[in-house]
Structure 1
Amino acid sequence: MSLGDDNDGFGGGSGQTRTRLPEGGSGDPYDDTRRPPARSSRSLITVVGVVVLLIAAIAFANRGGGKGDTDNTSGTSPTSDNRNPTSATGVRPVTGKNGQIPTGFARDEQGAQSAASNYAVALGSDGMFQPGPRRSIVETIHDPAIAADLVKRLDASYSPGFMANLGLTAEGTAPAGLTFVSRTVPIGAKVRDFTNDTATVEVWCTGLVGLAGEGSTKPVTSTWFTITEKLKWLGNDWKIVSSEQAEGPTPVNGDNRASTADDIAEAVKGYGGFTYAR
């Protein structure tokens, strides 16, 4: 699917990503009954080779009412990181920021994985649903050669009709009394290909999307996906030149009971995000 389609639909070294300290009644769909996992369809959107991380949004919007591992081709030999993939590894994350997005990643495999993980978080944030923040996110993390055109196409795709289907206003904000939730949380990352100037990184993620609050007909649900980002070294940092997303790997749904609307809304407001580092 491309942005020119009539439908405004959206499609997301071995080792584990290390998390750093934070930056900074009736009709209630969040009642104590356990919700079955969503089974909505997902699709991809391609813009000049860029597939934007928005699979959760289309799954959310389409709800009615109510790869096997790839060998590391960098030529590096196995390390203790590979033998113990559940251990946190690598160097400290960057300290620089452009707005809320970390910048200044190292020009190595660890830096590429850190960049890809943090870029996945930015692309899955609620800022992508508002024109100003969306432009800033896209321009910060993409190759300038494609960023301007991508912004124009995304602006056209986030139409009032699409926003209404998400339960949002035309400006991408939640109705009064509700809290819009759109978060991506990287679980781990690995390098598929690496050179001094380019990198291909897979980031396994879980995401949250929905409207939290009493009376919401679009309750917050979770998704699992893997985003593959092709990066290029430009201006002393990694930039996205293209990305694609696939569903899963998805774990078996647990036995946790769904929280109330107020609990979800308070959690979103009270718990800040993280900077991710390989």
Structure 2
Amino acid sequence: MNIGGGDEYDGRTRTSDYAPGASEGSRTTTRTRLPGNEAGGTGSRPPTRPGRSLITVVAVVVLLIAAIAFANRGGGGGEGGAPADDSRGRDSRAQPTAPTGEKPVKNSSDATIPSGFAHTEQGAQSAAANYAVALVSADMMKKSERREIIDQIYAPGQVDATLRKMDKAYSPKFLSKIGLDKDGNPAEGVEFVSRTVPVGTKVRKYNDDSARLDVWCTGVFGNAGKKSTNPVRNDWFTLSLALEWTDGDWRVQDFSQKEGPAPVNGDNRAAGAKEISDAVNKFGGFTYAR
């Protein structure tokens, strides 16, 4: 068999290549093919050997297996099979939410709001995400809890002015509009819900002393209860935060909020008031992100 294509060899003499215009049966050449060990004399062409193609395929497979084995060994850990630090040499843009190996915060686990963020761009992102959760939480509706939040996350020079601004924003009129009394409490048999989930962060500006970031968020907001006139609904919004590095941590200078971007609503069945209330009580919120 001629693997390279062309006429087949069956061990016998054959004729081919009739001359154009010649009558059928008139031969122009007579060609005989013999195996290599039978074709004597010099200049005889050796037959094609199928073994070469097979050897090539086997060699490629072996190289692929060796490459995979080497890659697996390189991605593993050091001594004793411990995981290696895979953050080195990896393009963070390819995996923006992958763990980097840095602990997000250094404060105690029982703290209400995380603190002690790293003095890095990632630390600023983590701080912004956590502060977004605190700034759009149910505790902001009550004056005493609101003061505690502002004291913890704002730069010292901005606390008093921010408290005055917040007290004005969370006026009795506004609280009544969302179904709460002047002290930020819901009616009897109703549970107020305001929980924020950061979806992503974007650094607009960063240096060692300050940072400006956007935090894209979703969340649930409203009152869960049969008598509620402000049912719990989903919301999408973006917080823009200006942070400064002060007293060994990132603190808020100012923030603003705008709607969206919001995806198309899905076909999810809306849960009843009791389901929402049970979910809020049974599912704890996260204390930090990223």
TM-score by length of 1: 0.68
Query: Whole-Å Cα distance in 2 between the matches of residues 125 and 187 of structure 1?
Result: 16
Query: Whole-Å Cα distance in 1 between the matches of residues 261 and 196 of structure 2?
Result: 15
Give the drift of 1:146.
1.5
Give the drift of 1:86.
5.1
SS, match of residue 134 in structure 2: helix
Give the drift of 1:125.
0.5
| Contact kept in structure 2, 1:224 and 1:249, CA below 8 Å | yes
Letter in 2 for 1:159: S
SS, match of residue 261 in structure 2: coil
Equivalent residue runs for 1:34-73 within 5 Å: none
2:284 to 246, 269, 272: 272
1:129 to 141, 153, 157: 141
Q: Comparing both structures, which one devotes a greater share of its residues to helix?
A: 2
Letter in 1 for 2:188: A
RMSD of Structure 2 on Structure 1 (CA): 1.8
Gaps of 5+ in 2: 1-88
Give the drift of 1:228.
1.5
Query: Whole-Å Cα distance in 1 between the matches of residues 140 and 286 of structure 2?
Result: 18
TM-score by length of 2: 0.66
SS, match of residue 146 in structure 1: helix
Q: Which has the larger radius of gyration?
A: 2
Greater relative contact order (CA < 8 Å, ≥ 6 in sequence): 1
Gaps of 5+ in 1: 1-77
Is residue 172 of structure 1 aligned with residue 184 of structure 2? yes
Single out whichever of 92-101 and 181-190 deviates more from structure 2.
92-101
Alignment size in residue pairs:
201
Is residue 214 of structure 1 aligned with residue 226 of structure 2? yes
> In 2 relative to 1, CA 223–90 (structure 1 residues): closer, same or farther, beyond 3 Å?
farther
Query: Whole-Å Cα distance in 1 between the matches of residues 95 and 166 of structure 2?
Result: 40
> In 2 relative to 1, CA 223–151 (structure 1 residues): closer, same or farther, beyond 3 Å?
same
| Contact kept in structure 2, 1:227 and 1:246, CA below 8 Å | yes
Give the drift of 1:99.
4.4
1:237 to 229, 249, 268: 249
Equivalent residue runs for 1:20-169 within 5 Å: 80-85=91-96, 87-89=98-100, 91-96=102-107, 99-169=111-181
Letter in 1 for 2:96: P
Query: Whole-Å Cα distance in 2 between the matches of residues 195 and 86 of structure 1?
Result: 22
| Contact kept in structure 1, 2:112 and 2:287, CA below 8 Å | no
Q: Comparing both structures, which one devotes a greater share of its residues to strand?
A: 1
Query: Whole-Å Cα distance in 2 between the matches of residues 90 and 181 of structure 1?
Result: 33
Is residue 256 of structure 1 aligned with residue 276 of structure 2? no
| Contact kept in structure 1, 2:154 and 2:253, CA below 8 Å | yes
Query: Whole-Å Cα distance in 2 between the matches of residues 243 and 172 of structure 1?
Result: 22
Letter in 1 for 2:196: T
Query: Whole-Å Cα distance in 2 between the matches of residues 213 and 105 of structure 1?
Result: 38
1:30-87: CA deviations, max 9, x gaps? Answer: xxxxxxxxxxxxxxxxxxxxxxxxxxxxxxxxxxxxxxxxxxxxxxxx9622123354
| Contact kept in structure 1, 2:106 and 2:117, CA below 8 Å | no
Is residue 202 of structure 1 aligned with residue 211 of structure 2? no
| Contact kept in structure 2, 1:200 and 1:229, CA below 8 Å | yes
Letter in 2 for 1:168: L
> In 2 relative to 1, CA 242–113 (structure 1 residues): closer, same or farther, beyond 3 Å?
same
Match of 1:55 in 2: none
Query: Whole-Å Cα distance in 1 between the matches of residues 245 and 204 of structure 2?
Result: 16
| Contact kept in structure 2, 1:90 and 1:110, CA below 8 Å | no
Single out whichever of 238-247 and 150-159 deviates more from structure 2.
150-159
Identity %: 48
Match of 1:34 in 2: none
Query: Whole-Å Cα distance in 2 between the matches of residues 231 and 161 of structure 1?
Result: 30
| Contact kept in structure 1, 2:194 and 2:219, CA below 8 Å | yes
